[in-house]
């Protein structure tokens, strides 16, 4: 085994089995933190995961978990799914067995109000036999967990359940086997069996709710195909995905999923990335373009060079981000953990005081014991342990469905307090791609003719400027003339023949190199340059030399939802600001169109970060929204960084929230999601504390039987998870129709 000093610090994830309550969470965290080299360990009850940061071997972490009395579950997808299915079947099987055995015991008690004293009761030995099956067979996991907890000197839900039900069971056996004068001989087998069964019911419903909460991850995991077609030396071979290596050439046929992240080598097609990025329109892929594993190929056959797969693919990173967010703890969870750590010892003291108070004060040992049992049962802190992680799991899952990836629980918690949102301009509030703004003919040509000729020539190019020209020509209803002999000149433009005319279109530098006189459009060019526009020229080769036909200016168009996004934020009382490194005139125009009063242009990356820091120093809670490497310092400096999904990996890595669609309306949706999640956390914590504190008081006063206490305890856990699952009800992207 490696020494801790020899290993790099890393973040590792373990799936933990056998946890039942917040006490289990504290115990596993304590065991993991005791491993040499571990800097931090966070365990999530709802997702049954542990996230460990430090320089230590995985085997040491697994040993610590096992020594603490818990299991390390399979990580490999198929094995994990099989193990999860077996655990689910086992959980349901135990519940069904317990229900079958408990029903004959509980039925007479349920019929008593209707039949009075004529209720038929099972013989005592039948009651004992059925209760023993429930207590020691179907409830064996509680004894195992309690014994491990006692050995390690910690208190868990298992300890409370075992103490409470064993006391009721033992008292029943004693009254049955040792009847005497003054002993009424009451049997409470149905109470112990029903408590075990109700706890199993609650755990089964919790497990079902957890399965629903992690469906977003399960769905994403299914996007990765299990095989890939690899092209070798003159042959193609279908191999398991695990056998593919970076640099391998993968063949992706029409309609297939991309098995790896890679770069297109040959072919042209479209990729449906909607399931990964949320982008509804297919994206055209040419040689040199990146592709994402899990996306669906369109009508063309592509050869793709593998750049990343497995744990390093974009899909895997997205899944890991969601899992880390679901497994992380919000700061408010630390308070619940601290309370849970001392909760079990306090409950044991209250139960003992209840027993002694009723026994010594009223001379009734049996009532005192039953009330103490009720205290132990209703005090099980599973609802307290689930309150925060259940809401975080559901919140991050809903976010993933809406196209909002939340990197950690702290980002989710802080976002609801944001009062200032700072936008970058290019690629965030604007499309980040050119739009044909104006075109002007030279003296010899008409404007319509210039547009028709330019569109014909650009139909043979895939350049973003060409696409902008074609969109306008189509919108204007212009005829599409045939073009021939098209050649793209990298860094300059495109040339070709339209009819008998030899045309070329491109940069001012190319025009100057070709001897084209641009003076006819000098005034327009100066104005366009002053507005920060990109300028392109159309010219024709004639026997007398190259002649200018027209000029075109391209600007960045506002995103369709930009105005609605700013309006939605301002209606929430959020201050909106704009920071951009672009030309002042361009930034001013965008700010005026969107109604943003606070804007700054020509801002360098470090100046963006400094501006965000100043706002924070003035007491604002700032969210920065950007998409580029130049936005990364500001994203890191903000209280919450939000990266647009179409942006760079650096920006997405720096941000706490990633908006998978390039839709600024998702910013308001993210704030609403955070606010709802925070509200659910507070509601859950209130109900968990309310159930425990009020329930303990009622039980100690003799107002709750163990059976009712068990039902209330199970209901408290289920209600907490159910309340969390309601978080996404009616929630949809603000951009939805």
CA distances from 635 to 60, 426, 673 (A): 36, 15, 20
410-414-416-422 Cα dihedral, nearest 10 degrees = -120
- For the beta sheet containing 38-44, the strands, ordered from the edge strand earlier in sequence to the opposite edge, are 38-44, 49-54, 10-17, 71-73
- Determine the number of helices (DSSP H) and then strands (DSSP E) in the chain: 25, 26
DSSP of 634-649: HHHHSSEEEEETTS-H
- Contact (CB, 8 A) for 17 and 70: yes
The rounded distance, in Å, linking the Cα atoms of 676 and 674 is: 5
Cβ-count burial 388-407 (b if 16+ within 10 Å, e if not):
bbbbbbbbbbbbbbbbbbbb
The rounded distance, in Å, linking the Cα atoms of 306 and 248 is: 5
Count the Cβ atoms, other than its own, within 10 Å of residue 275.
17
Active-site option among 424, 556, 582, 639: 424
DSSP of 589-603: HHHHHHT--EEE-S-
In sequence order, the β-bridge partners of residue 489 are 493
In sequence order, the β-bridge partners of residue 12 are 52
Q: What is the DSSP letter of 652?
A: H
First to last CA, the chain: 57
The rounded distance, in Å, linking the Cα atoms of 288 and 302 is: 11
Region for residue 427 given its phi and psi (left: phi exceeds 0; alpha: psi -120 to 50; beta: otherwise): left
SS3 of 41-68: the string is: EEEECCCCEEEEEECCCHHHHHHHHHHC
Please confirm, yes or no, whether 424 is among the known catalytic residues: yes
3-state helix, strand, coil in the chain (%, to 5): 55, 20, 25
- Contact (CB, 8 A) for 229 and 237: yes
The rounded distance, in Å, linking the Cα atoms of 653 and 108 is: 62
With both helix axes pointing from N to C terminus, report the angle between 584-594 and 562-571 in degrees, rounded to the nearest 10.
60
- Contact (CB, 8 A) for 340 and 23: yes
Helix boundaries (H) for 363-463 = 365-378, 382-402, 409-415, 447-458
- Contact (CB, 8 A) for 681 and 387: yes
The rounded distance, in Å, linking the Cα atoms of 235 and 246 is: 18
**Active site members:** 424
């Amino acid at each position: 085994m490696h020494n801790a000093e020899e290993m790099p610090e890393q973040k590792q994830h373990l799936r933990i089995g056998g946890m039942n309550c917040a006490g289990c969470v504290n115990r596993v965290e304590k065991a993991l933190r005791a491993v040499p080299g571990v800097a931090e360990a966070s365990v999530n009850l709802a997702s049954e995961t542990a996230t460990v940061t430090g320089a230590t071997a995985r085997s040491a972490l697994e040993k610590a978990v096992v020594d603490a009395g818990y299991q390390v579950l399979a990580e490999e997808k198929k094995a994990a799914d099989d193990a999860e299915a077996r655990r689910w079947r086992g959980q349901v099987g135990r519940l069904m067995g317990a229900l079958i055995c408990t029903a004959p015991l509980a039925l007479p008690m349920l019929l008593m109000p209707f039949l009075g004293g004529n209720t038929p009761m099972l013989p005592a030995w039948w009651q004992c036999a059925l209760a023993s099956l429930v207590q020691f067979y179907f409830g064996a996991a509680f004894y195992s967990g309690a014994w491990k907890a006692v050995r390690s000197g910690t208190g868990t839900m298992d300890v409370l359940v075992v103490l409470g039900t064993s006391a009721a069971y033992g008292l029943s056996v004693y009254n049955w086997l040792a009847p005497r004068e003054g002993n009424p001989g009451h049997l409470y087998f149905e109470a112990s069996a029903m408590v075990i069964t109700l706890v199993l019911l609650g755990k089964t419903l919790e497990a079902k709710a957890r399965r629903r909460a992690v469906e977003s991850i399960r769905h994403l995991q299914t996007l990765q195909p299990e095989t890939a077609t690899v092209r070798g030396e003159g042959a193609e071979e279908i191999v398991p995905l695990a056998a593919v290596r970076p640099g391998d050439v993968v063949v992706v046929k029409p309609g297939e999923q991309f098995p790896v992240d890679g770069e297109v080598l040959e072919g042209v097609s479209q990729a449906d990335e909607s399931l990964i990025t949320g982008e509804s329109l297919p994206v055209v892929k040419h040689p040199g373009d990146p592709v994402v594993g899990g996306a669906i190929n369109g009508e063309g056959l592509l050869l793709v060079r593998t750049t990343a797969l497995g744990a390093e693919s974009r899909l895997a990173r997205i899944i890991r981000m969601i899992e880390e967010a679901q497994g992380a703890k919000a700061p408010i969870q630390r308070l619940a953990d601290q309370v849970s750590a001392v909760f079990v010892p306090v409950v044991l003291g209250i139960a003992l005081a209840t027993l002694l108070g009723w026994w010594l004060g009223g001379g009734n040992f049996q009532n005192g014991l039953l009330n103490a049992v009720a205290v132990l049962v209703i005090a099980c802190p599973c609802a307290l342990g689930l309150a925060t992680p259940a809401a975080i799991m559901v919140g991050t899952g809903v976010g993933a469905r809406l196209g909002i990836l939340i990197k950690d629980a702290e980002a989710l918690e802080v976002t609801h307090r944001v009062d200032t949102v700072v936008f970058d301009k290019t690629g965030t509030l604007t499309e980040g791609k050119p739009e044909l703004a104006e075109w002007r003919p030279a003296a010899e040509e008409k404007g319509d003719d210039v547009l028709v000729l330019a569109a014909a020539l650009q139909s043979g190019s895939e350049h973003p400027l060409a696409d902008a020209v074609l969109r306008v020509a189509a919108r204007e209803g212009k005829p599409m003339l045939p073009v021939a002999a098209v050649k793209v000149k990298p860094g300059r433009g495109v040339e070709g023949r339209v009819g008998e005319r030899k045309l070329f279109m491109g940069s001012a530098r190319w025009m100057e190199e070709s001897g084209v006189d641009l003076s006819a459009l000098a005034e327009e060019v100066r104005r366009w340059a002053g507005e920060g526009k990109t300028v392109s020229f159309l010219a024709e080769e004639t026997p007398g030399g190259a002649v200018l036909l027209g000029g075109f200016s391209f600007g960045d168009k506002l995103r369709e939802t930009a105005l609605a996004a700013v309006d939605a934020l301002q209606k929430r009382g959020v201050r909106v600001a704009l920071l951009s490194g672009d030309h002042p005139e361009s930034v001013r125009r965008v700010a005026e169109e969107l109604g943003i009063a606070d804007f700054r242009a020509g801002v360098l990356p470090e100046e963006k970060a400094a501006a965000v820091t100043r706002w924070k120093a003035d007491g604002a809670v700032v969210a920065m929204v950007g998409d580029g490497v130049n936005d990364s310092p500001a994203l890191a400096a903000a209280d919450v960084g939000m990266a647009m999904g179409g942006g760079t990996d650096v920006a997405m890595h720096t941000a706490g929230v990633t908006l998978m669609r390039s839709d600024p309306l998702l910013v308001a949706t993210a704030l609403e999601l955070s606010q709802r999640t925070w509200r659910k956390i507070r509601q859950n914590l209130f109900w968990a504390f309310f159930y425990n504190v009020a329930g303990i008081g009622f039980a100690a006063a003799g107002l709750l039987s163990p059976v009712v206490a068990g039902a209330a305890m199970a209901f408290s856990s289920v209600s907490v998870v159910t309340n969390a699952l309601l978080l996404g009800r009616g929630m949809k992207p603000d951009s939805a129709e």
